[in-house]
A and B are shown apart, each in its own frame.
Chain A
Amino acid sequence: MNETSPVLNVTIDGIQVSVPKGATILEAAERVGVVIPRYCYHPGLSAPAVCRMCLVEVDGAPKPLPSCVQQVQDGMVVHTASAEARKARRAAVEFLLVNHPLDCPICDAAGQCELQDYAFETGQLRTRNIEPKAVLGRDKLTPDILYFADRCVLCTRCVRFMDEIAQEPVLQVIQRGHKGYIDTMTDELFEHPFSMNIVDVCPVGALVNEDFLFKPRAWDLDQTPSICPGCSQGCNVLLGTKENRVLRAKPRPNNEVNSYWMCDHGRQALVNWGAGDRIEVPMIRESGRLAPTDWPQALAALSRTLEARPAGARAIVSAGASNESLYIARKLADKVGFKGGVFRVETGPEAGLPGFPKLRLRAERAPNVRGAELLGFRRSADVLEAIRGHKGVLIVLEDALIDAPEDFGVELEMFIYVGTHMSPAARRADIILPSTTFAEAEGSFTNVEGRVQRFAQALHPPGLARPLWLTGSTALAGLGAGAVYRTAAAAFDALVGEFGEFQGLSYAKLGLGGASVAEAESSAANVS
């Protein structure tokens, strides 16, 4: 939308709004907070105007117009809730319900279903239909997606996602009218790395994720804005949690990163994130055995080690840690004077989405590779090789070293492990401090394009686990090196002050949409 494009004035439900030429009635209405019911319209897809749900009354028009495709004209007066508009919508809902099985009690979409919402809003109490309902049955489309044809409203959002965004048009509407359903050409299941988005775009319960089926009810989930840690893309997500477990992840719209989409790899990685053999209490090795202790004792032990300023200490960090944690790790490193600090990045096959090229499942399967690099850590193909033969103090931060040999660390003078999960290598540590996963504390990641994005806390950390930035800054404060950062915001804002790359950013400024390091750099350059 540039400033030279002509501006049209329209009235929507009595509210004046100015929109650029080419905007549809539906878009104009959204600007003033009027949400027009819709099924086939999706902001990320083309609008075919097939569902007839978004019909509105326009003064001077002979009949209701589909607002998702009808472009506004200057002086247009639109009524979205007039008797005529409501009558049109009521008729659309009545037709959709003719053969709908009304199986909401066993439908996964119940509580987040647009058919439920609009039937409740505009529908009628009893059906006028006395004929038996047509029954179409169900089908399996991908290894994880079930299709319930009877619930389908044939909005074709899934068809258009595969056609326009995935650009692999495997889904089509077969038959017509009440016999219509969505299907692929063959009986074989199709696979696509972004297939699960068709479940998200489905406005009803026709397409459901089998992995999520019958687990929780939608209204029992807590939704927390977060960032997918599955790769360095940093897709904005909403974590659906219940009883302190992540049960699903849905994309959170952000046009700079992932639009309305995310990949299946990320979703699957996020379910039950952080499960496993968690470390819940600090532990210190006493006469050869690990003994649980409390935080004051553990931090005192850590301080004693750091105070000795062990020359030639080494560190392994993680590209899965937040900017704030890595910043504190950097400060620890500088304080103790140990060399560098390495991290590794797991890699996997890439996958793209031709309809939205900005979004890729990146080969680097860690969320904060860029952040770790900006904060002065070195990426190493083999972190174990990088510290081979090291005999002094080793500090391992949030890398469980699951591939380390059985006798890892026997040569080390002192082995400090701050992490989330127990592993055979971690059991060799002299001091073990429990840490949190990204879902258990707030913080931020820097994605592959240098966009710094915040995530909120979705889960309670287990036991006494604390975020690394809190543990580290407490230890540093004990050594008289800086303050204790009690919030991620405080740690991030301190980071901005020390690292020029982040200049111009602040935790508050990042908001929920994030901000780019590059942008901050260029704006900082303009200022100076």
Chain B
Amino acid sequence: MSESIHPAVCSAQPSQRADKNPDAPLFEGAYKERFDHILSRYPNKRAALLPVLNMAQELRGWLSPATITRVAELLELTPDYVRSVASFYTMFQLRPVGRHLIQVCIGIGCDLCGAEEVVEDLLEATGTRIGETSRDGKYTVVEVECLGACGFPTVVQVNDKVYENVKPEDVEGLMKELD
């Protein structure tokens, strides 16, 4: 990580720079630099918890108890506290998710425009049920409340990428793209 990255954005890097690996070392090399950058932004270590958890999830895909414990050690907090904070935010995964986390908006706009059918088709295409991970570890489909793009229903977000105007007939193409 170069010095050109301003501390203010160091925790907002596009994810999946590294392959998500549940056993990836936490915050080494470039990630160590980012970690230090993050700490430099806050008056104390506790305040840096959210961006650090973000980075941990980016590296490992989800926040396992071991990851939580390690983050707690690094930030001099108790694991219980870190778990409490992580569990408050739905965007932190406390269980393993597939490589592609497919989030379908079921907010009022998308719902009225047929989000339900999109969800059903996605579940059929991935062979899973809501919140479950496919057997090959590739996909997890979840319903989320508003994704903030109500003008373009149905909105589907796969990891960090947002797909707009998804119709049931688009699901096949989407799946191909993900493969």
**Known interface pairs A185-B65, A186-B65. Does A175 touch B81 (Cβ–Cβ under 8 Å)?**
no
We find that the number of chain A residues with CB closer than 8 angstroms to chain B is: 11
Are A172's CB and B81's CB within 8 A? yes
The answer, yes or no, to whether B93 is at the interface (CB within 8 Å) is: no
Q: Report Cα–Cα, A173/B84, bound state, in Å.
A: 6
* CA–CA, A192 and B79, complex, Å: 18
Q: Does A387 contact B (CB under 8 A)?
A: no
Interface membership of B159, Cβ < 8 A: no
Main secondary structure of the interface of A (DSSP, over half): loop
Asked whether, in the complex, the Cβ of A172 is within 8 Å of the Cβ of B80, the reply is yes
CB-based nearest A residue for B85: A172
Known: A185-B65, A186-B65. A175 touches B80 (CB 8 A): no
> Which residues of A have CB within 8 Å of B87?
174-176
Chain B residues lying within 8 Å of A175, measured Cβ to Cβ, are 87-88
Q: Distance (Å) between the CB of A386 and the closest chain B CB?
A: 50
Q: Which residues of B contact A173 (CB under 8 A)?
A: 84, 88
Q: Enumerate chain B residues within 8 angstroms of A174, measured Cβ to Cβ.
A: 83-84, 87
Is A506 part of the contact surface with B, judged by Cβ < 8 Å? no
B78 interface contact, C-beta 8 A? yes
- Beta-carbon nearest neighbor of A159 in chain B: B84
Residues of A within 8 A of B78 (CB): 169-170, 185
Q: Mark A445-458, 1 if CB is under 8 A from B, else 0.
A: 00000000000000
For residue B90, which residue of chain A has the nearest CB? A176
Q: Which of A169, A171, A176, A185 has the most CB of B within 10 A?
A: A185
- The reply to whether B81 and A176 form a contact with Cβ atoms under 8 Å apart is no
Within the complex, the shortest CB–CB distance from A107 to chain B, in Å, comes to 26
Residues of B in contact, count (CB < 8 Å): 11
A169 & B80 in contact (Cβ 8 Å cutoff) = yes
How many Å lie between the Cα of A170 and that of B80 in the bound state?
Answer: 6
Give the distance to chain B from A409, nearest Cβ to Cβ, in Å: 57
Contact B83 A172 (CB under 8 A): yes
Residue A184 interfacial (CB < 8 Å): yes
How far, in Å, is B67 (CB) from chain A's closest CB? 13
In whole angstroms, what is the CA distance A138 to B83 when docked? 19
Contacts of B83 in A (CB 8 A): 172, 174, 185
| Min CB gap A163→B, angstroms | 9
Please name all residues of chain A whose beta carbon is closer than 8 Å to the beta carbon of B79 when the two chains form the complex.
185
B68, B79, B81, B87 interface centre (most CB from chain A within 10 Å): B87
Q: Are A176 and B88 in contact, CB atoms less than 8 angstroms apart?
A: yes
| CA of A171 to CA of B83, assembled, Å | 11
A438 CB, min distance to chain B CBs, angstroms: 40
B78, B79, B80, B88, most chain A CB atoms within 10 A: B80
Residues of chain B in range 50-87 having any CB-CB distance to chain A below 8 Å: 65, 68-69, 78-81, 83-84, 87
* Chain B residue with Cβ nearest A174: B87
Please name the residue on chain A nearest to B77 by beta carbon.
A169
Residues of chain B within 8 A (CB-CB) of A184 are 80
Closest B residue to A190 by CB, please name it.
Answer: B80
Docked CA distance A174–B65 (Å): 13
Among candidates B65, B69, B80, B88, residue contacting A171 with C-beta atoms closer than 8 Å: B80
A171 partner residues in chain B, CB cutoff 8 A: 80
- Complex-state Cα separation, A184 to B81, whole angstroms: 9
Determine the chain B residues whose CB is within 8 A of the CB of A185 once the complex forms.
Answer: 65, 68-69, 78-80, 83
Q: Which residues of B contact A176 (CB under 8 A)?
A: 87-88
Q: Which residues of A contact B68 (CB under 8 A)?
A: 185
- Interface centre among A171, A174, A184, by most chain B C-beta atoms within 10 angstroms, is A174
Distance in Å from the Cβ of A155 to the closest Cβ of chain B? Answer: 15
Known: A169-B81, A170-B80, A175-B88. 17 other contacts (CB 8 A): A169-B78, A169-B80, A170-B78, A171-B80, A172-B80, A172-B83, A172-B84, A173-B84, A173-B88, A174-B87, A175-B87, A176-B87, A185-B65, A185-B78, A185-B79, A185-B80, A185-B83
In the complex, 22 of the A-B residue pairs with CB atoms within 8 angstroms, ordered by the A residue number, are A169-B78, A169-B81, A170-B78, A171-B80, A172-B80, A172-B81, A172-B84, A173-B84, A174-B83, A174-B84, A174-B87, A175-B87, A175-B88, A176-B87, A176-B88, A184-B80, A185-B65, A185-B69, A185-B78, A185-B80, A185-B83, A186-B65
In order of increasing CB-CB distance, the 9 nearest A-B pairs are A172-B84, A172-B80, A185-B80, A174-B87, A185-B79, A176-B88, A175-B87, A169-B78, A173-B84
